[in-house]
C-alpha cells in the first residue's frame, strides 16, 4: 500500500500549499489589485477543488458504484459529477451563511452538529436509492425486459444524497471570505471550487464505466446482476456512513 | 495481460476506504531535550492554518481582544482540544512499538499572526532508544505536517521520515544518539 499512502501524502501536500496560497492571496487584496487577485483566487480555488475531491470520499464512491450498472453512458457520469458538486456548493453556502448570520456563534460546533445531521440524511437517502436500484433490478429481471427504464429520478436522488453534505473545505473558504468582508468573492470561490470538484467526481464515474467495459466478463453479462451489484455496494456505503456518523457523535 | 477485474477491485477499494480529506492543516513544532538517553522535556506546538484559525478565533476569542485569556483557554481545552484524547492527540509515541498514552500538560492557546497556536508538554521521561513519535489523524480530517525545520532537539539528532500505515500516512520523528 506504499503507493496509496504516497498518493495521499502528495494530495495532502498540494492541498496544504493551495490552502496557504488562497488565504495569503485573499488577505493581500486591496483597492488596487482587487480584480487580478480575485481572478487568481478563483483559479486557485478551481485547482484546490480538483485536488480536494481527488482524495477518497463518499461522493466519488457513490458515483463509481452507481455507474457499475450504467456502463455506456459517459455523459451521464459527467452530468452526475456536476450535479453532486452543485448540491455540495449550495449546501455549503446555505450552511455557512446560515450559521454565520442566523446562529451567529459557535461556528465550528454548530457546523459539526449540522454536518452530522446532513450526513445522516445523506446516508438514509443513499440507503433508499440502493434499495430502489436493487428492487428495480429484480423487477426488471422478473419482467425479462431490457433495461431502459427511466433513471433520471434515481440519478437526481443519487446526486442529491451525496451533495447534501456540505463540504467543509468549501465552507472554510466561504467563511474566511465573510470574515474579511469579501462576500461575493466567497460565493464565487465556492462555485469555482465546486466546478473543480465536479470534474474529479465525474472522472470517478467515467473511470468506473471504462473499467467495467474492460472487465467485461466480470460484470457485463447480465444487466440485472450489474444493477444488483451496484445497488449492494451503494447500500453498504449508506450503512457505513450512517454507522460512522453515530459513532462520531 | 492487464487484469482489469483486479484494477476495478482496487479502484473500488481505494475510493471506499476513507471518507474524508483534510480540512484543517496543522504544522507540528516539537521541542525536545534529551539527557542521558532519556527525554528531559517534550513540548509540542501546533500551528493551525490561516483559514481554520480565522474560523476558530471567532469562537475562542469571546471578548474580541485578540488574546486568549485563562477562561477562554479553559473553554478551548474542554470543548475543542480534549476531544482529541480519543485519537491520542494525533501523536503516537511508541517505545519498542508499544504505544504510550499521551497526556498533555500546561495546555495553552495563543493567537499569533492570525493563526491559532496550541502548545502543551508531555511530562514523561522516555528512553530515546527505539522511541518513535508519529503524527497523523487516521480519520484524515486534519493533516498533521512535520517538516525537518520545525523540529528543535537538544542532546540528540532528529530524523524525520514518512511512514506508510496502509490506509493513512504519518510523519515520524525519531531521535538518534549524537555522534561524539
State CA B141 to chain mean position distance. Answer: 13
Q: Phi-psi bin for A31: left (phi > 0), alpha (psi -120 to 50), beta?
A: alpha
ipTM for the assembly: 0.86
**Contact residues for A238 (Cβ-Cβ < 8 A; gap 6+):** A123, A124, A125, A126, A127, A129, A130
What is this structure's pTM?
A: 0.79
Rounded CA-CA distance A18/A51 in Å is: 9
Name the band, by pLDDT with cuts 50, 70 and 90, for residue A4.
confident
- Residue of A105, A175, A218 lying closest to B55 (CB–CB): A175
Q: Is residue A5 part of a domain?
A: no
Grid coordinates in use for A163?
Answer: 451533495
Name the band, by pLDDT with cuts 50, 70 and 90, for residue A107.
low
**Complete domains list, chain B, with CATH:** 25-176 (2.70.170)
Q: Is residue A138 part of a domain?
A: yes
Q: Which residues of B95-131 are buried (b: 16+ CB within 10 A; e: fewer)?
A: eeeeebebebeeeebebeeebbbbbbbbeeebebeeb
Q: Is residue A23 part of a domain?
A: no
State CA A180 to chain mean position distance. Answer: 27
Q: Is residue A14 part of a domain?
A: no
Backbone angles phi, psi at B23, to 5 degrees: -120, -15
Long-range contacts of A141-149 (CB under 8 A, 24+ apart): A141/A224, A146/A223, A147/A223, A147/A224, A147/A227
Q: Specify the pairing of strand B115-122 against strand B38-48.
A: antiparallel
Q: What is the share, in percent, of chain A residues with pLDDT greater than 90?
A: 15
Question: Are A47 and A196 spatial neighbours (Cβ–Cβ below 8 Å)?
Answer: yes
Of A14, A15, A17, A23, which to mutate for an interface test with B (greatest number of B Cβ within 10 Å)?
A: A23
CB pair distance less than 8 Å for A6 and B8: no
CB pair distance less than 8 Å for A19 and B164: no
pLDDT in tens, A69-95: 655 678 888 888 888 888 888 888 888
Identify which of B153, B167, B171, B61 has the alpha carbon closest to the alpha carbon of residue B111.
B61
- Show the domain range for A128: 56-248
- In A, which residues are within 8 Å of B58 by CB distance? 107, 179
Question: Are A84 and A201 spatial neighbours (Cβ–Cβ below 8 Å)?
Answer: yes
What is the domain count for chain A? 1
Amino acid at each position: 500500500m506504499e503507493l496509496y499512502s504516497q498518493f495521499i501524502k502528495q494530495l495532502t501536500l498540494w492541498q496544504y500549499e493551495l490552502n496557504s496560497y488562497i488565504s495569503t492571496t485573499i488577505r493581500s487584496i486591496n483597492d488596487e489589485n482587487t480584480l487580478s487577485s480575485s481572478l487568481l483566487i478563483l483559479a486557485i480555488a478551481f485547482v484546490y477543488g480538483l485536488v480536494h475531491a481527488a482524495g477518497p470520499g463518499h461522493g466519488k464512491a457513490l458515483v463509481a458504484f452507481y455507474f457499475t450498472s450504467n456502463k455506456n453512458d459517459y455523459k451521464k457520469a459527467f452530468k452526475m459529477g456536476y450535479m453532486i458538486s452543485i448540491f455540495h456548493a449550495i449546501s455549503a453556502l446555505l450552511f455557512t451563511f446560515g450559521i454565520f448570520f442566523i446562529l451567529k456563534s459557535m461556528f465550528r460546533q454548530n457546523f459539526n452538529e449540522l454536518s452530522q445531521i446532513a450526513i445522516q440524511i445523506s446516508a438514509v437517502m443513499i440507503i433508499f436509492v440502493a434499495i430502489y436500484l436493487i428492487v428495480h433490478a429484480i423487477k426488471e429481471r422478473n419482467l425479462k425486459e431490457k433495461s431502459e427504464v427511466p433513471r433520471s429520478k434515481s440519478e437526481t436522488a443519487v446526486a442529491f444524497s451525496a451533495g447534501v453534505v456540505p463540504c467543509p473545505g468549501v465552507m472554510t473558504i466561504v467563511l474566511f471570505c465573510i470574515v474579511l468582508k469579501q462576500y461575493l468573492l466567497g460565493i464565487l470561490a465556492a462555485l469555482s471550487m465546486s466546478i473543480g470538484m465536479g470534474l474529479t467526481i465525474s472522472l470517478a464515474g467515467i473511470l468506473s464505466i471504462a473499467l467495467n467495459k474492460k472487465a467485461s466478463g466480470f460484470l457485463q453479462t447480465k444487466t440485472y446482476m450489474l444493477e444488483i451489484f451496484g445497488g449492494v455496494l451503494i447500500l453498504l456505503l449508506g450503512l457505513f456512513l450512517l454507522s460512522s456518523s453515530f459513532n462520531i457523535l | 495481460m492487464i487484469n482489469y477485474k483486479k484494477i476495478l477491485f482496487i479502484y473500488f477499494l481505494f475510493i471506499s476506504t476513507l471518507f474524508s480529506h483534510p480540512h484543517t492543516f496543522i504544522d507540528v513544532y516539537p521541542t525536545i531535550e534529551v539527557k542521558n538517553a532519556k527525554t528531559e522535556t517534550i513540548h509540542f506546538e501546533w500551528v493551525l492554518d490561516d483559514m481554520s484559525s480565522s474560523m476558530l478565533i471567532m469562537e475562542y476569542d469571546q471578548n474580541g481582544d485578540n488574546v486568549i485569556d485563562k477562561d477562554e483557554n479553559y473553554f478551548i481545552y474542554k470543548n475543542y482540544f480534549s476531544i482529541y484524547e480519543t485519537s491520542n492527540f494525533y501523536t503516537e509515541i511508541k517505545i519498542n512499538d508499544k504505544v504510550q498514552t499521551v497526556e498533555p500538560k500546561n495546555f495553552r492557546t495563543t493567537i499569533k499572526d492570525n493563526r491559532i497556536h496550541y502548545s502543551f508538554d508531555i511530562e514523561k521521561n522516555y528512553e530515546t532508544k527505539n522511541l518513535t513519535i508519529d503524527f497523523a489523524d487516521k480519520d484524515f480530517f486534519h493533516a498533521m505536517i512535520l517538516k525537518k525545520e520545525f523540529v528543535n532537539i537538544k542532546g540528540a539528532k532528529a530524523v524525520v521520515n514518512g511512514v506508510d500505515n496502509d490506509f493513512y500516512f504519518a510523519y515520524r520523528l525519531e531521535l538518534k544518539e549524537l555522534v561524539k
